[in-house]
Amino acid sequence: MKKNLPYILLFILLIPCWGIAWKPGGDLTVYYKASTWLQNDWVSKLYSNNAEIGNFFYGPFGLALLKPLSILSFSNANLLWLLLQTVAYLFFWKNLFLIFPELLNPKKLSLFLLAWIVSIKPIHASFQSHNVQLMFAALLTSSQLSNSSQNTTQQNIGGAIVTLLSSIKVYPWFLAIYYFIHSKKAFRVGLIFGGVISLLVPLFVFGIRTGVKLPIEFFENARKYHQVYDLAKDVVSLSLPSLLASWLPQSLLNLGAIGITVGSISLLFFSWIILNSKKITSDKERYFWTFAWSMMGLLNSTTRPDYFIYFVPAFVSLSLLIQHQKQKRIFHLGLVISVLLISFITEWTLGSRELTHYLEGLRVPVLGILLLCLMQFLALRNTLRA
């Protein structure tokens, strides 16, 4: 029974996700309307005046992928999206089991239960919002497996996936930089190759004249993101930038406190990786990769509950690292607090939508993310010193 329990629980989690995603809506509505505009050749308008369709902040390569979507009826597009979400769900867990085989060890059932519990909120949110985070997570875990592969072609493909995803949404560039600093040569070649593909594809889909202008138009459009989604007012914006925007006085915000803080932490993180790159052996790589995912989620200003999928590997990683720490009790306590703050501030646990949004407005889940990242850093630092 213990051997099959993980698969049973994964199927149980999938059932309500199917139920909530059966009805079209969420971001799929925006994707579909964007596709109809693209079919009508309103390409530049999509970036310059997109409030009519619900705002659109995806890169030119993403436009090229979305263009055919409206060939389908909206209901059929939703069925396709549900299929893609389900495939992503299966591949995410398959890849996570390959990266952390301990998850399927019957003697470590509690490890899987932890991963399953912390995955409920982001996976449910991904299906509910019809967003792409679960698909991105499935592809990025595949990239990590490629990075660990001895096959040069697989490494090339893995690197290309990272930069291609970065050309759709901005935040995976954090991982692209991490991999450029610490990955095999073939993987870095793949990163460059993916970047080239992301620039060339829009030229073929939309024509050279339009394709050349799209990156600039996208950049100008992306700068307006927080004019639409105010960091201080958007209650489901749950990241370090939103916490700073909510907690700091306006005088410090006017001085660029958010940019300085995020930039400084990013610089310290990448500097630390560079300094310790030779010490990050193949058996330790997965732990540093999960830390990079967590830092990406913490520092990304657009992080919402569906982005919490990027913290799931961190809980697995940290649980394994705790076994080799001297202060196990403190780490275990921190782990419990982090789980409660990140995963249990939800309507189905608090029983109140208003209370949930109030605590999210105070950025309480971000405190759990900060604690998770801090514990990962301390555990990894201790591991390097051992």
Residue 328: the pLDDT is 86
The better pLDDT of the pair 289, 385 is held by: 289
Residue 217: the pLDDT is 85
Residue 151: the pLDDT is 93
Confidence band of 289 (pLDDT split at 50, 70, 90): very high
User: What is the Cβ-side half-sphere exposure of residue 10, based on CA atoms within 13 angstroms?
Assistant: 19
Q: What is the per-residue pLDDT across 350-377, written as a single tens digit (0 to 9) for each?
A: 878 889 999 999 999 999 999 999 999 9
The number of folded domains in the chain is 1
Is 224 part of a structural domain of the chain? no
Confidence band of 336 (pLDDT split at 50, 70, 90): very high
Domain, as residue range, for 338 = 232-386
State the pTM of this model: 0.95
Q: What is the per-residue pLDDT across 6-46, written as a single tens digit (0 to 9) for each?
A: 999 999 999 999 999 998 888 999 899 999 989 988 887 78
Q: How far apart are CA 269 and CA 276, in angstroms?
A: 11
pLDDT of 135 higher than 70: yes
Residue 386: the pLDDT is 66
Tokens 């705790």: give the residue. Answer: 322
**Residue 252: what residue type?**
L
Is 294 part of a structural domain of the chain? yes
Is 336 part of a structural domain of the chain? yes
132, exposed or middle or buried, with CB in 10 Å at 0-12, 13-18, 19+? buried
Q: How far apart are CA 214 and CA 348, in angstroms?
A: 42
pLDDT mean across residues, the chain: 92
In 56-80, which positions are buried (b, 16+ CB within 10 angstroms) versus exposed (e)?
bbbbbbbbbbbbebbeeeeeebbee
Is 162 part of a structural domain of the chain? no
Is 291 part of a structural domain of the chain? yes
pLDDT of 203 higher than 70: yes
Confidence band of 326 (pLDDT split at 50, 70, 90): confident
pLDDT of 84 higher than 70: yes
Is 288 part of a structural domain of the chain? yes
Is 45 part of a structural domain of the chain? no
Residue 211: the pLDDT is 85
Q: How far apart are CA 81 and CA 329, in angstroms?
A: 43
Give percent of the chain above pLDDT 70: 99
Q: How far apart are CA 357 and CA 75, in angstroms?
A: 31
Could you give the C-alpha distances from 286 to 130, 298, 363, 366, in angstroms and in order? 29, 19, 29, 23
Residue 1: the pLDDT is 64
Query: Among 91-100, 108-117, 125-134, 222-231, which is the least confidently predicted range?
Result: 222-231
Query: Which two tokens mark 243?
Result: 């916490």
Give percent of the chain above pLDDT 90: 72
Q: What is the per-residue pLDDT across 143-191, written as a single tens digit (0 to 9) for each?
A: 999 998 899 999 999 999 999 999 999 999 999 999 999 888 999 999 9
Residue 297: the pLDDT is 97
Query: Which two tokens mark 207?
Result: 């024509």
State phi, psi for 4 to the nearest 5 degrees: -95, -10
Q: Are 60 and 215 in contact (CB under 8 A)?
A: yes
Task: Quickly count: other Cβ atoms within 10 Å of residue 87's Cβ.
Answer: 13
pLDDT, mean of residues 284-312: 96
Confidence band of 347 (pLDDT split at 50, 70, 90): confident
pLDDT, mean of residues 183-208: 94
Q: How far apart are CA 241 and CA 256, in angstroms?
A: 11
Is 43 part of a structural domain of the chain? no
**Residue 273: what residue type?**
I
pLDDT of 268 higher than 90: yes
Report which of 220, 193, 217 is spatially closest to residue 63, judged by C-alpha positions. 217
Query: Which two tokens mark 264?
Result: 């400084």
